[in-house]
């Protein structure tokens, strides 16, 4: 007889932590779980060119780099916030925008609860300054444009109708990386440790 799991709202992490999705706490957040999960979650539902899926970990690294170009004074804690901007996806997965819209408010609230626990765990404010939030959003748009036009099959004319075209100066030199999940996980952890050490 199968166990009744209808009331379960938590997930067991490889670290041994048990993360309650409805009431996540900072003590159940581990960076190793985040890095591992994000390295195995594919952006664009896996519909990207290349021999490896383009992971949320790679996307997060790119957003943090773009944020460093956009922000006039990129302090380490705000760069860390940029790196962690999609951290809830390590447990919620990456939903493309049309699906997020269809799921509505409940998904957004769950994402916000996990994000808050992540921020508290790593010493970031519950609510980022509005200027920092805007710059991270702008960096996210830089990444989305590059991903769409370079690996997700969008022509530039099609992308212009869906995504905000970024300032070319914010894109220059940024590279989309496709690599095995273990390498993406390691790169994410290394960058996290570098930023934490600077804080």
Sign of CA dihedral 107, 113, 117, 118: positive
3 pLDDT exceeds 60?
Answer: no
DSSP one-letter code for 18: E
For 13, the enclosing helix (H) or strand (E) is none
* pLDDT at 16 (0 to 100): 94
| Residue 2 confidence (pLDDT) above 50 | no
Q: Each residue of 151-179: pLDDT tens digit?
A: 999 999 999 999 999 999 999 899 999 99
CA neighbor of 63 nearest in space, from 33, 92, 43: 43
At residue 108, the pLDDT reads 84
Mean pLDDT of the chain: 93
* Count of C-beta atoms within a 10 Å radius of residue 70: 20
| Beta-bridge partner residues of 42 | 55
Rounded (5°) CA angle 187-39-94:
135
Q: What pLDDT, in 10s, does the model give residues 87-99?
A: 999 999 887 777 7
What's residue 180's pLDDT?
A: 97
Residue range 126-140, pLDDT digits in tens: 999 999 999 999 999
| pLDDT for position 158 | 96
Question: In angstroms, how far apart are the furthest CA atoms of the chain?
Answer: 60
> Which of these, 139, 147, 143, lies nearest to 48 by C-alpha position?
147
Tell me the pLDDT tens digit for each residue of 64-113.
999 999 998 899 999 999 999 999 999 998 877 777 777 778 888 889 99
């Amino acid at each position: 007889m199968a166990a009744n799991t209808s009331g379960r709202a938590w997930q067991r992490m490889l670290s041994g932590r048990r993360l309650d999705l409805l009431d996540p706490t900072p003590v159940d957040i581990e960076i190793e779980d985040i890095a591992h999960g994000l390295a195995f979650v594919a952006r664009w539902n896996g519909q990207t060119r290349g021999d490896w899926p383009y992971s949320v970990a790679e996307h997060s690294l790119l957003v943090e780099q773009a944020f460093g170009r956009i922000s006039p004074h990129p302090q380490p804690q705000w760069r860390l916030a940029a790196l962690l901007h999609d951290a809830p996806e390590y447990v919620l997965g990456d939903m493309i925008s049309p699906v997020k819209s269809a799921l509505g408010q409940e998904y957004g609230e769950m994402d916000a609860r996990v994000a808050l626990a992540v921020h508290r765990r790593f010493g970031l404010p519950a609510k980022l300054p509005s200027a920092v939030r805007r710059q991270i959003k702008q960096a996210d748009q830089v990444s989305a444009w590059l991903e769409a036009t370079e690996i997700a099959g969008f022509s530039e004319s099609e992308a212009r109708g869906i995504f905000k075209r970024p300032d070319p100066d914010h894109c220059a030199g940024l590279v989309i990386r496709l690599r095995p999940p273990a390498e993406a996980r390691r790169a994410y952890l290394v960058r996290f440790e570098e930023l934490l050490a600077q804080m």
